[in-house]
Structure 1
Amino acid sequence: MKKIGLLLLVVVFTISCKNEPKKDVQKEKFPEALGKVFDKHGGINVWRKANTLSFNIGEESHTVDLHSRKTVVHSPKYSLGYNGKDVWMVRQDSTAFKRDPKFYYNLYFYFYAMPFVLADDGISYEDASPLVFEGKEYPGIKISYASNVGTSPDDNYYIYFNPETYQMEWLRYSVTFFSKKTSEKFNVIRYNDWKTVDGLLLPKSITWYQKDEKGLPTKPRGTATEFTLAIVKEAKLQDAFFEKPSQE
């Protein structure tokens, strides 16, 4: 089934290879340090030229239009997605998926597409205190969103990077999707396993960490989440790809 899905994706890429006008990325303004992080990971210009990102987590395949953020997640037991207007879901049975599809459909895309999703419109940047782990300090940048951006504009992200290489190392983030209120409770993810995919340095795996009383990471909270079968393409998928499939 995975091979068939990958073949279908390649076919769709081939028949719909159209490029849309791109932003003049030279005019975009980021903190100098964040610009260096983008450069370390392949460059914001390379990211902006791409139209489609695809990756797997276990049996789930995730495919995203990088400009409209239309999304499809397929697995043997369920499918869900966002067609640009509505979030939809198809289950093989009622027990197949218990999460909220509106929360889940783009959850792993944001984790996987770090650090480049931090170049989205409507973002504000601030310097943040360094994160300390095993005696080493990682400089930080706080990312917050305008009130009209996304379904959870009160979420805050903190990216931390290696001060010598500018490679991303850590992410702290809050979740406000359910409460709709600003939260001081943060999760921590370590990014220390990377792979070059079509010119971009993207995570091969990520690991959630436990925290001490100061909110600093201590040890892994569980096994790493692994990403496989990654593809980044300038080809644009047809809109029909992201529509809810027939259940006949």
Structure 2
Amino acid sequence: MKHLFYTLSLGLLLFSCKTETKKEATITADTTEKIVEIDMTKYPENLRKVFDAHGGLKLWKSMKALEFTQVKPSGQEITITDLKNRKAKIESPDHAIGFDGQKPWLLNKSNVEYKGYDPQFGYNLMFYFYTMPFILSDDGIKFSEAEALTFEGVTYPGIKISYDNGVGATPEDIYVLYYNEDTFKMEWLGYTVNFVPGIDTKELHFRRYSEWQSVNGLILPKVITGYGFKDDKPTTPKAPNVFTNIKLTKTAPDQSLFDKPEKANFVN
């Protein structure tokens, strides 16, 4: 479960350095507007309608950078990702993690022990949750119908997502996107977890999407809430993840932003 959120489970990190000179999250100007050509026929009709309900896949593919903020007990956690090469950086007051395109890294900025998810998975964990449903347009994904989910008397049709062999670190991962059958907006994500020790790798975990917000013409979530689960069904909600200060642009981030700082360490 390391490609859709490198791929996933729950919770994260990071912000500014006391001993290093801070690199600003600057944007590299790119005035060249490229026409985005997409073969929509490779996606099932219901998924195409989900993409359209969220602003359209063509518009999403024209974007180059995404930034969002979450408030954690340690302070603000700011995530910025290059949408084309998937380089990433997450900063909080005490730590920073990132991915330079080859390896993930961790920077300790204080004496506070780092307790986040392994940076191998954590640098893009919430990014993948947040960029649903558009992240499901990545190469190497297979689609099929899934059994509908019924929760509190409402039924949500499902689209099952699996992977070609060799795609990601755990191609056995399964995801299920559940959508509102009237609006086609995404409502739930079900997913298996294969990289966290001691977790049943076949049972579906759940996150619910709500309070959608429009950002540059795309409909992105403000709130994603994890749920308890039993027998492949969600049970009770947990503390929500709230996303603010969303920046979605057609200009690429300064690539030096993702370089490992001198005092950081690469993570194997």
The two structures share one fold, judged by TM-score above 0.5: yes
* Structure 1 vs Structure 2 CA RMSD: 2.5
Counterpart in the other structure of 1:124: 142
Structure 1 runs (4+) deviating above 4 angstroms are: 18-23
Partner of 1:205: 223
Change (3 A) 1:229 1:2: farther
Aligned residue among 50, 54, 78 for 1:41: 54
Tell me if the contact between 2:65 and 2:81 (Cα under 8 Å) persists in the aligned partners: yes
Whole-angstrom distance in 1 between the partners of 2:46 and 2:122: 30
* In 2, Cα distance between equivalents of 1:52 and 1:192: 23
Of the three residues 72, 90, 103, the one matched with 2:107 is 90
CA distance in structure 2 between the partners assigned to 1:94 and 1:79 by the alignment: 12
2:259 is matched with which residue: 200, 225, 243? 243
The one-letter code sitting in structure 2 at the alignment partner of 1:87 is: P
Q: What are the ranges of 5 or more consecutive residues in structure 2 without an aligned counterpart? A: 1-13, 17-22
When residues 131 and 147 of structure 1 are mapped into structure 2, their CA distance, relative to the original with a 3 A threshold, is same
1:17 is aligned to 2:30: yes
Deviations 1:14-59 (A, max 9, x none): x433558665214552000000000000100010000000101111
Q: Percent identity at matched positions?
A: 38
Q: How does 1:58-97 map to 2 (within 5 A)?
A: 58=71, 59-92=76-109, 93=111, 95-97=113-115
Question: What TM-score do you get using the length of structure 2 for normalisation?
Answer: 0.82
Kindly indicate which of the two structures has a greater share of residues assigned to helix.
1
SS in 1 for 2:253: coil
Instruction: Tell me how many residue pairs correspond in the alignment.
Output: 239
Q: Secondary structure at the match of 1:128?
A: strand
Q: 2-side partners of 1:114 and 1:178: how far apart?
A: 21
Structure 1: 5+ residue runs without aligned partners? none
TM-score (norm 1): 0.88
Which structure has more RCO (C-alpha within 8 Å, separation ≥ 6)? 2
Pick from 212, 218, 222: which aligns with 2:235?
A: 218
Closer, same or farther: CA 83–54 of 1 in aligned 2, 3 Å: same
State the one-letter code of the partner of 1:124. K
Aligned-pair CA distance for 1:153? 2.1
Q: CA deviation at 1:99?
A: 2.8
After TM superposition, give the deviation of residue 119 of structure 1 in Å. Answer: 0.6
Structure 1 residues 106 and 18: alpha-carbon distance in aligned structure 2, compared to 1, 3 A threshold: farther
Q: Secondary structure at the match of 1:224?
A: strand
Query: Could you tell me which residue of structure 2 aligns to residue 143 of structure 1?
Result: 161
